[in-house]
Amino acid sequence: MNIHYLTLFPKMYDGILNTSILGRAKEKGIVDYHTINFRDFSGNKHNKVDDYPYGGGAGMVLKPEPVFNAMESLELDDPRVILLCPQGRPFDQKMAEELSTENDIVFICGHYEGYDERIRSLVTDEVSIGDYVLTGGELASMTMTDAVVRLIPGVLNREESHQEDSFSTGLLEHPHYTRPREYRGMKVPEVLLNGNHKLIEEWRHEESLKRTRERRPDLLE
């Protein structure tokens, strides 16, 4: 998979995409990340990428030319083109699973009051990572990258498996314990110590249900 980021701040990506599982996925050749500074595609001599809104009002608007020019320079065959904005469809595990099968994903990351509406003609999806406003789409694109890349076959090893993740089962995950058996008076539940796998599975399922009912009843509906 190739992931392309149209951004004014390519440096923001250096640490995250080269570290831990995302970095390892790249080293393994499963995924590659490409940042494109669309200021380089402004098409004007002052490298201007934003302008005042027609009709007046506060804030600047991202001009269409830099984004159209940068997109055309990519010459991709049928990519998913994702515009990050708070008005988009809420990102969730199901969308992460769907995106994990794509060959090319392009994230368009704005940093202004808004995008010129014509930019929307380039995109296949408008996505929000939550009901709050970020200063730009970069962190949202990295959050989505993290959720997507870990689902690509070969990225996680057996110990890191995602089969039982919260959300992929439709429920939140059950509690986990490791050694020691007792820590500061807090004991590991007996059922996990007796080696009866059927009982352990039942306990885990019950705990998952309980947690989901308490914390995220909306998931059970």
Interaction site with ligand ADE (CB under 6 A) = 84-86, 128-130, 132-134, 137, 140
Q: Single out the catalytic residue among 72, 92, 113, 206.
A: 113
Q: Single out the catalytic residue among 125, 126, 165, 207.
A: 165
Tokens read off for 85: 């904005």
CB of residue 3 to ligand ADE, shortest distance in Å: 16
CB of residue 111 to ligand ADE, shortest distance in Å: 9
CB of residue 217 to ligand ADE, shortest distance in Å: 24
117 annotated active-site: no
86 annotated active-site: yes
Q: Single out the catalytic residue among 10, 64, 146, 150.
A: 150
Burial (CB count <10 Å: 0-12, 13-18, 19+), residue 98? middle
150 annotated active-site: yes
| Residue closer to ligand ADE (CB basis): 122 or 129 | 129
CB of residue 94 to ligand ADE, shortest distance in Å: 17
Tokens read off for 104: 């090319």
| Residue closer to ligand ADE (CB basis): 54 or 132 | 132
- Amino acid in position 144: M
Which residues, including other chains, have CB under 8 Å from residue 190's CB and lie 6 or more apart? none
| Residue closer to ligand ADE (CB basis): 53 or 136 | 136
Cα 215 from Cα 219, distance rounded (Å): 9
| Residue closer to ligand ADE (CB basis): 7 or 212 | 7
Q: Single out the catalytic residue among 64, 79, 86, 104.
A: 86
Known catalytic residues are: 86, 113, 150, 165
